[in-house]
Structure 1
Amino acid sequence: MLKIIVAGVDEAGRGPVLGAMVIGVFAAEAEWDRELREMGVKDSKQLSPARREELAAKLRKIGRHLLIRITAEELTELMNKGISLNEIEAMKIGEALGELQGDLARRKHEFGKVFIDSPDPIPSKFERRIRKYFRVPGADKVKILCDNKAENKYPTVAAASILAKVDRDAELEKIKKKLGVDFGSGYPSDERTAKYVREHHADPELQPFLRHKWETVKRLKCPQVDLTKYL
């Protein structure tokens, strides 16, 4: 039986200086929107880690999902080529939607619509970027709706945000275990993270996990001058 599938896309870890950025894609039958709301699916930032884990386990059973990890090394490599973060995200989303479209076509389902959280303040520009990379057969029939703060408006995007956040957190824990240190959240606003990067940015084992092209990383690498003696 033909089913109309609606998807949501969101990322986790766009701003950190350490670790991967993860893009989540969640797809389910259009009728599932109400059920997702009733389950308590909402923006992952509004949920505790335990609640995110609980909901992620349920979401994996309900619909099709994809997780795309863009490592710090890959981000550095692509940005060294002059590719912007928005372009990288659009490229990975377009490729993921192509994979989803192929899977749904094989199952004789119709990919009706996808809601995407836009990092661009002009969402239509982000849609155009994605369309450049979403070019598989049938892609032109899929309606793409990009929106700012989409995770607060569309249940499928909120579901994608939960899956991406849980995966990003799990990957971060693996990095901490490998390095043998708890450096915090990976965000530069976290003093534990900032202190760790300032003191260990040259350590060989840290290099694969550090986002070298981030301006905050460049600042943290600079020697800190003690200005108190001039006061």
Structure 2
Amino acid sequence: MALLPYFQEGVLEAGCDEAGRGCLAGPVYAAAVILPPDFYHPLLNDSKQLTESQRMVLREVVEKESLAWMVASVSAAEIDRINILKASFLAMHRALDGLPIRPESILVDGNRFYKYGTIPHLCVVKGDGKYASIAAASILAKTHRDEAMERLHLEYPAYQWQQNKGYPTESHRDAIRQHGISPWHRRTFQLLPAGEQLELF
């Protein structure tokens, strides 16, 4: 099914989505994208449904053809300080802050959002599979975050972040058991299953 180009015709809408909310390590990323109303690409879909190569092709298209886009992040330390839900919203607000064009409305993936100034917003559950601008934002957020985790992998190769991107895979947890945690791990998250002792390095 083709994605919807907009919620309200004639309104400058920014789609917002985040990436990395469920990770054990690294920042949470968010993107805000304003697409032309006639934008269409046959591959565009929720980033989780695409291959890595498809996401990179679409990222280039979105960054070139969108009216405006911005990616922003919130660090693991900030996540620990304010919690992951607030951090996800903060990352979206930072992305919206960076847009060179002020949107008239915001479409947000999910069921909750903190109001952004006076701009109205609409929360759309599974919106990255419904609206083109949210799908585009999901692609930018994920690809930019993946690249950030690949850079962090060079500092801390033991955790295999170039593969797991900070998500709670068994190999990631095995590395935490063996090496303890890095400065990029989210200390307020359950890094190991309940009952296991965590070494704080």
Q: TM-score, normalised by structure 2?
A: 0.82
Show the counterpart of 2:7.
none
Show the counterpart of 2:3.
none
Structure 1 or 2: more helix by fraction: 1
Larger radius of gyration: 1
1:151 aligned residue (100, 124, 128): 128
Matched, 1:168 2:134: no
Show the counterpart of 1:87.
86
**TM-aligned CA distance change 1:29 to 1:223, over 3 Å:** closer
**TM-aligned CA distance change 1:16 to 1:195, over 3 Å:** same
The code of the aligned residue for 1:187 comes to Y
2:167 aligned residue (183, 187, 198): 187
**TM-aligned CA distance change 1:57 to 1:171, over 3 Å:** same
After the TM superposition, list the runs of 4 or more consecutive aligned residues in structure 1 that deviate by more than 3 angstroms. Answer: 216-221
**TM-aligned CA distance change 1:167 to 1:99, over 3 Å:** closer
Assess if the C-alpha contact under 8 Å between 2:29 and 2:145 holds in 1.
yes
Counterpart of 1:25 in 2: which secondary structure? strand
1:177 aligned residue (154, 170, 182): 154
- 1:180 Cα deviation (Å)? 3.0
- 1:89 Cα deviation (Å)? 2.1
- 1:112 Cα deviation (Å)? 2.9
1:51-81 Cα shifts (integer Å, max 9, x gaps): 11111011110111111111212212x2xxx
Show the counterpart of 1:69.
73
Show the counterpart of 2:54.
51
The code of the aligned residue for 2:106 comes to V
- 1:26 Cα deviation (Å)? 1.0
Identity of aligned residues (%): 25
1:2-36 Cα shifts (integer Å, max 9, x gaps): x842211111110010111111111123332xx1x
**TM-aligned CA distance change 1:220 to 1:27, over 3 Å:** farther
1:116 aligned residue (102, 108, 116): 108
Work out the number of aligned pairs and report it. Answer: 186
**TM-aligned CA distance change 1:223 to 1:19, over 3 Å:** closer
Show the counterpart of 1:15.
22
Q: TM-score, normalised by structure 1?
A: 0.72
CA distance in structure 2 between the aligned counterparts of 1:166 and 1:72, rounded to whole angstroms:
18
CA distance in structure 2 between the aligned counterparts of 1:22 and 1:219, rounded to whole angstroms:
27
The code of the aligned residue for 2:170 comes to E
**TM-aligned CA distance change 1:222 to 1:163, over 3 Å:** same
User: Which range is displaced more, 10-19 or 22-31?
Assistant: 22-31
- 1:86 Cα deviation (Å)? 1.8
- Stretches of structure 1 that go unaligned for 5 or more consecutive residues are 106-110, 225-231
CA distance in structure 1 between the aligned counterparts of 2:50 and 2:195, rounded to whole angstroms:
30
Assess if the C-alpha contact under 8 Å between 1:211 and 1:217 holds in 2.
no
Show the counterpart of 1:216.
191
- Stretches of structure 2 that go unaligned for 5 or more consecutive residues are 1-9
CA distance in structure 1 between the aligned counterparts of 2:191 and 2:175, rounded to whole angstroms:
13
